[in-house]
Structure 1
């Protein structure tokens, strides 16, 4: 895992530009503390910070190939690079290293732009094709690894973290108002935008291409599509087991030790159980809080004991939480108001003291149907028998019911079509609320502008699969994978995610609704596949997912801190502070839980103080 900064100049690359780019590269040192490398010619600068994991001696970057016709920087892992090397040798190519980068450039020489379709792994790659005066940048189809870019009159910049672009005033630090509106809906900024104007992120499965004297072009090379088909359960279970065993084995390939994160849930337990077959002495890491009901440490220890693996765990206090929060948000680059970012930061910090690589369970919920909200279509099925006219009246009547009254949300959701109500796992502020406290409210800019085009692509599928598709294309890449990358890289740690593998997705994409959800459980077939070799308590356990006690802390330990932060009024241009203070006080009274709304605002304020500073 590494970090890079690249620049393709519209003119000759001068010494002043090189110096600025060196400064930008140094801001990414936490992503790759082991080694730094630079390549430049009269048009291009490639800078790289390396975290050495595979081919420690010969995997240096930038890597040059074929008499300096091709050059590369690459962040990620290619899990089929050995097989690819063997196939290329049969084509007559020779190799001087065991590194993935040599395989990638050889693929590029052989297949041209089609090279990326042969890669199995997580990656963001930039190739300077000097022979054809062409810059190519690609990102893996899930968006596991980031690739930010910006273009100005000088040329185009690509980087692993957007903060590097602020180091030398490459871009201004102006908030994008549309992004702010989306952030307040989703708790993150949906890709390809970021919170800052003029900085974008290349979407998963896409290729960016820039040639001399030509405009920047972005095209899609891969899409994730669900195609459910009915199969016998035993056949399906066999496919799930085989592909996950294969994926974990591939993700364990490393020249340095590999560990796992272990919570009390089924995803991390499956990964750990399969990894233990490969390395019986594997270490596991867990994090929890000093609040009853908000710690998975006991469950993880119980699971570790049954699996007979070592478990290293840490407990985070409210004081630890608030002390490290600015560092967490700094490393996030963009504001993400997911409280679980903080425990992830701490468990990565602890794991980095022992290993360089950790396996984690991200992606299982989106692929196999694991979120509790996926039960919603079943619970609301009753409303499908009610005529639309009556549903319209019921919805109108529910608007008169005070917020927090039992039944209000159930009626509203049941009377609202899925494509109008579902934004993903997090739905923070409504349009009505944003209109009330946002000083630059944009009336016709709704979150459905993000979700409606996605719904249109899966309109013929069942509601749960539609929800999965929305989450994969918003929540997964914008929240789950973003926080995993940034929090691990903050501590020079590589997180690998075996569920998010192209071969695993091929199997998961064919599951039917009954394979995923029934009235009793989520991820039904995944649980059944591993029922016989996992602790029974894990198989039947509901998802927890790094529970964070901000609801309690904002009423007590963090109350004064939150009020003082809002009163600083640093975001007065955008938000009515009196409304937010009122929200905090109402939350403290305990009638309604406003913690996620409050946390979304507090995160934005801290981010603004760090990155905008006006």
Structure 2
């Protein structure tokens, strides 16, 4: 697990200039790889490749960039490639030698054997940048679900890339600017796939590669999709559900076993949900020694599930590390630092909680944990999936306002794409409606011709939803937007790697995922029970109360639920949202925003109060991002 960055500019061929440009880009990624740093320059081509290393596999032999003996090929890898020993042995039998025994060492021999199609042989979570000097070709590759991040900026005749946007913004040819359109998307929580918070900085989409080829003094850039989360156009009927239960069980055991392999200890994140408890239960049986389990506890019974996590830890004999968080930890300096790491806004302080948790993991001398992300996406776990297929069954409880809309919403672009407007985007449509009157007049003018809801729909490949079941469509569209843009970024990699800690989401193993798409909808959700097939696969692993429990909202308590949290938020508002600063940033009308902030705390409707919390978080963070990245303000220290 590492940080990768670099650039290609055919007109920049002075090695001193190359190094002076690359070093600051590496400096800002030090948190991703504090163990070692490496660089490789192709001076005549104007290529600079950099790497910061977090050593987990091949501790003494994993230096990067990796290159061939003739120096014509070089690669940097961020992530983990599983099954590498078997691949390395196969390559050796075919007279393709690996440089070293780290997992990343298999990439160049595979490329030399298979060309760009080598990526299909890889299992794991990864971002890869490979330079082929013979073909004058640079390839940026992102894993199937986008577990590992990879961003780029394409200039007039240059390409800059990085594991995080902040490294790209350090390049001398890139000017940090917030994107007004992206600001609106952040306020409504849903980013357009492939976009970021910053002007002219883009994300390589999950399952895609970007290929830059030199043609004279020009770089020609193309993108190619090499994998997708594809559902069939029809599902088998009359099949024994037990076959799918066994199929899920076997593949998940293999995925967890694979992710336990490392040259350092591997722990588990443990909430009180089915997903992480299943992971811990399987890991306990696969591992000879007790597993270290890390749990977050909140100071609100409505949002805290640490009691169930504790019982699961006791059941498995795990050594549990419990981290209790209050307003002191969730707001103030930690909130600001989490925003800097996220590089976008987040609607709930769960991101801050995850930052604290990864910090605790490292303090316990662990560098890697297995996590439960992806289970809901594969097996229909979220309440909006069930609503899209089976209709409404309640008003949402604490989900209302943040995860479920209290009234049905429709949008023409989504109706045309899917045949319905997915329930997952409906609450964010209501947030957008509430945000629009607060925006600066220039942003409102922009929205006369720019429809954020339609832009998100337009980024979905219609061929991947056409003719599919409603549940499949809902799962697919969520996975192409919110899984990558939210759960795997500010809820995953960015908060974990902020403290040099690697997360391994076993459910997102592509063998598990590809099998899950074949499971009939009425086996994923059966008799109104979400993730039924997973529950049955894990029935002897989970405590009875958890096996029978409905989906729980893993969120931090919003500020409106506690006067102490409200006071902590107001302190940030007084610093970051002064009329002068709001006017200078230019995204909101200062007077209208001030009135909203004053009125928000008096809201008595729980759904609207949660929505107000979301808007306040996003507004604060947009101004923080401007301060941190555009103005260059220093980050505060965290106790």
| Fold match (TM-score > 0.5) | yes
On the 8 A contact 2:435/2:615 being kept in 1, the answer is: no
User: How far, CA to CA, are the matches of 2:405 and 2:157 in structure 1?
Assistant: 55
User: Which deviates more from structure 2 when the two are superposed, residues 453-462 or residues 51-60?
Assistant: 453-462
| Distance 1:10-1:338 versus aligned 2 partners, 3 A rule | farther
User: How far, CA to CA, are the matches of 1:274 and 1:87 in structure 2?
Assistant: 29
| Distance 1:223-1:414 versus aligned 2 partners, 3 A rule | closer
User: How far, CA to CA, are the matches of 1:352 and 1:497 in structure 2?
Assistant: 18
On the 8 A contact 2:296/2:325 being kept in 1, the answer is: yes
On the 8 A contact 1:146/1:161 being kept in 2, the answer is: yes
Which of 136, 155, 165 lines up with 1:133 in the alignment? 136
Partner of 1:611: 629
Which of 482, 485, 489 lines up with 1:478 in the alignment? 485
User: How far, CA to CA, are the matches of 2:430 and 2:624 in structure 1?
Assistant: 19
Which of 202, 214, 237 lines up with 2:204 in the alignment? 202
| Distance 1:569-1:110 versus aligned 2 partners, 3 A rule | same
On the 8 A contact 1:184/1:428 being kept in 2, the answer is: no
User: How far, CA to CA, are the matches of 2:461 and 2:75 in structure 1?
Assistant: 37
User: Which deviates more from structure 2 when the two are superposed, residues 361-370 or residues 167-176?
Assistant: 167-176
| Distance 1:423-1:306 versus aligned 2 partners, 3 A rule | closer
1:45 alignment partner, SS class: strand
Q: TM-score, normalised by structure 2?
A: 0.87
User: How far, CA to CA, are the matches of 2:172 and 2:476 in structure 1?
Assistant: 37
Which of 529, 550, 556 lines up with 1:548 in the alignment? 556
| Distance 1:419-1:611 versus aligned 2 partners, 3 A rule | farther
User: How far, CA to CA, are the matches of 2:324 and 2:392 in structure 1?
Assistant: 42
| Distance 1:48-1:464 versus aligned 2 partners, 3 A rule | same
* 2:50 is equivalent to residue 22 of structure 1: no
User: How far, CA to CA, are the matches of 1:455 and 1:218 in structure 2?
Assistant: 15
* 2:454 is equivalent to residue 448 of structure 1: yes
1:445 alignment partner, SS class: coil
How many residues were matched structurally? 591
| Distance 1:377-1:131 versus aligned 2 partners, 3 A rule | closer
Query: What stretches of structure 2 of length at least 5 have no aligned partner?
Result: 394-399, 633-639
Partner of 1:463: 470
Partner of 2:221: 216
Partner of 1:61: 64
On the 8 A contact 2:260/2:266 being kept in 1, the answer is: yes
User: How far, CA to CA, are the matches of 2:104 and 2:509 in structure 1?
Assistant: 20
Partner of 2:521: 513
* 2:176 is equivalent to residue 158 of structure 1: no
CA RMSD of aligned residues (A): 2.5
User: How far, CA to CA, are the matches of 1:548 and 1:581 in structure 2?
Assistant: 25
Which of 602, 615, 619 lines up with 1:597 in the alignment? 615
User: How far, CA to CA, are the matches of 1:553 and 1:325 in structure 2?
Assistant: 17
* 2:560 is equivalent to residue 560 of structure 1: no
Q: TM-score, normalised by structure 1?
A: 0.91
| Distance 1:181-1:237 versus aligned 2 partners, 3 A rule | same
* 2:234 is equivalent to residue 237 of structure 1: no
Partner of 1:306: 315
User: How far, CA to CA, are the matches of 1:578 and 1:311 in structure 2?
Assistant: 49
Write the mapping of 1:521-536 to structure 2, written as runs, cut at 5 A. 521-536=529-544
User: How far, CA to CA, are the matches of 1:69 and 1:598 in structure 2?
Assistant: 51
User: How far, CA to CA, are the matches of 1:534 and 1:381 in structure 2?
Assistant: 28
Could you tell me how far 1:135 is from its partner in structure 2? 0.9
On the 8 A contact 1:423/1:448 being kept in 2, the answer is: no
1:496 alignment partner, SS class: strand
User: How far, CA to CA, are the matches of 1:380 and 1:414 in structure 2?
Assistant: 18
| Distance 1:154-1:454 versus aligned 2 partners, 3 A rule | closer
1:507 alignment partner, SS class: helix
Which of 331, 337, 340 lines up with 1:330 in the alignment? 340
* 2:553 is equivalent to residue 539 of structure 1: no
Partner of 2:73: 70
Could you tell me how far 1:553 is from its partner in structure 2? 4.0
User: Which deviates more from structure 2 when the two are superposed, residues 140-149 or residues 584-593?
Assistant: 584-593
On the 8 A contact 2:409/2:421 being kept in 1, the answer is: no
Partner of 2:329: 320
* 2:293 is equivalent to residue 284 of structure 1: yes
User: How far, CA to CA, are the matches of 2:169 and 2:99 in structure 1?
Assistant: 38
User: Which deviates more from structure 2 when the two are superposed, residues 413-422 or residues 464-473?
Assistant: 413-422
Partner of 2:592: 579
* 2:149 is equivalent to residue 146 of structure 1: yes
* 2:302 is equivalent to residue 293 of structure 1: yes
| Distance 1:150-1:106 versus aligned 2 partners, 3 A rule | same
Write the mapping of 1:358-373 to structure 2, written as runs, cut at 5 A. 358-373=369-384
User: Which deviates more from structure 2 when the two are superposed, residues 148-157 or residues 420-429?
Assistant: 420-429
Partner of 1:394: none
Write the mapping of 1:147-186 to structure 2, written as runs, cut at 5 A. 147-153=150-156, 155-185=158-188
User: How far, CA to CA, are the matches of 2:405 and 2:252 in structure 1?
Assistant: 42
User: Which deviates more from structure 2 when the two are superposed, residues 137-146 or residues 333-342?
Assistant: 333-342
1:211 alignment partner, SS class: strand
Partner of 1:8: 8
Which of 250, 255, 260 lines up with 2:263 in the alignment? 255
2:466 alignment partner, SS class: coil
User: How far, CA to CA, are the matches of 1:453 and 1:563 in structure 2?
Assistant: 34
* 2:192 is equivalent to residue 190 of structure 1: yes
On the 8 A contact 2:4/2:76 being kept in 1, the answer is: yes
On the 8 A contact 2:193/2:459 being kept in 1, the answer is: no
